[in-house]
Amino acid sequence: MTVFDSTIILEYLEDKWPEPPMLPKTAAERARVRALEELCDTHYEAINWGLFEIRVFKRATGELADAMTARAAQQIAGLNAYLDRMLGGADYFNGARFGWGDLSVLPHVNASAGVLGFAPPTGSGLARWLDRVRERPSVQRIVAEAMATFSGFEMLPQLVESGMFVREYRDHRLEWMIRTGGADIVLAGMKKKNIRFSVDLG
């Protein structure tokens, strides 16, 4: 069996190797970091994904791309401010130690800051947290592996246009694209068959 989806993977790892625990001790704290994961998995991921659609896959250009990027920047600023408040004065989203909450927030804030150019405000708690977790050897290894996958991305716009590369528009991604002004992008992708939706299991 293949384990997929970030939430299920985290749950599997926690069940398989409960020590050291990735979740905080109390029910309230566990609920808090799970809520952070949900926020990042749906809202933050969709924004970053949408920006890749525009910047890397060239689904929009000119005024439309500029308008959607400006809206994404506002959304990211709002999310980063919220995450900064949730972090408070703690070293980690899990509290005293790195864990589930940090694993859930890191990919999205790091991609937004390091790849897309929308970093948390300098001097903010979130910016200090990002600097802190980027020093972890495990994070450095994973980020390096992720960045290595970007080689050859310069050919992707042509592959998308030809229909050889198809991107999945799942629920929250589709929602972001529609409410941020990209309805025509979705319709064009459906016509060209270079976007897809969830696979039917029947």
| Residue pLDDT, tens place only, 174-202 | 999 999 999 999 999 999 899 999 877 77
Flag whether pLDDT at 156 surpasses 80: no
Tens of pLDDT along 162-172? 777 788 898 99
pLDDT band at 46, cuts 50/70/90? Answer: very high
Q: Is 145 exposed, middle or buried (0-12, 13-18, 19+ CB in 10 A)?
A: exposed
pLDDT on residue 160: 73
Tens of pLDDT along 98-122? 999 999 999 999 999 999 999 999 9
pLDDT > 70 in the chain, percent: 98
Instruction: Report if residue 6 sits inside a domain.
Output: no
* DSSP helix/strand/coil, 1: coil
Tens of pLDDT along 15-45? 999 999 999 999 999 999 999 999 999 999 9
Q: Total domain count for the chain?
A: 1
Phi, psi of 149 (to 5 degrees): -75, -10
pLDDT on residue 94: 94
Handedness of CA 15, 20, 25, 31 (dihedral sign): negative
| DSSP-assigned letter for residue 155 | G
Determine contact, residues 60/69, Cβ cutoff 8 Å: no
Flag whether pLDDT at 147 surpasses 90: no
Instruction: Report if residue 162 sits inside a domain.
Output: yes
Instruction: Report if residue 85 sits inside a domain.
Output: yes
pLDDT on residue 152: 65
Q: Across residues 83-99, what is the average pLDDT? A: 95
Residue 38: give its domain's CATH number.
Answer: 1.20.1050.10
Flag whether pLDDT at 124 surpasses 70: yes
Task: Report the distance separating Cα 121 and Cα 84, nearest Å.
Answer: 10
103-141: string of b/e by CB count within 10 Å (b at 16+)? bbbbbbbbbbbebbebbbeeebbbbebbeebeeeeebee
Instruction: Report if residue 16 sits inside a domain.
Output: no
State the number of CA atoms in the 13 A half-sphere of 10 facing the CB.
Answer: 19
Instruction: Report if residue 69 sits inside a domain.
Output: yes
Domain that holds residue 43: 26-196
Average pLDDT score, the chain = 92
Instruction: Report if residue 19 sits inside a domain.
Output: no
At 194, list the tokens. Answer: 């270079």
In terms of pTM, does the model score above 0.85?
A: yes
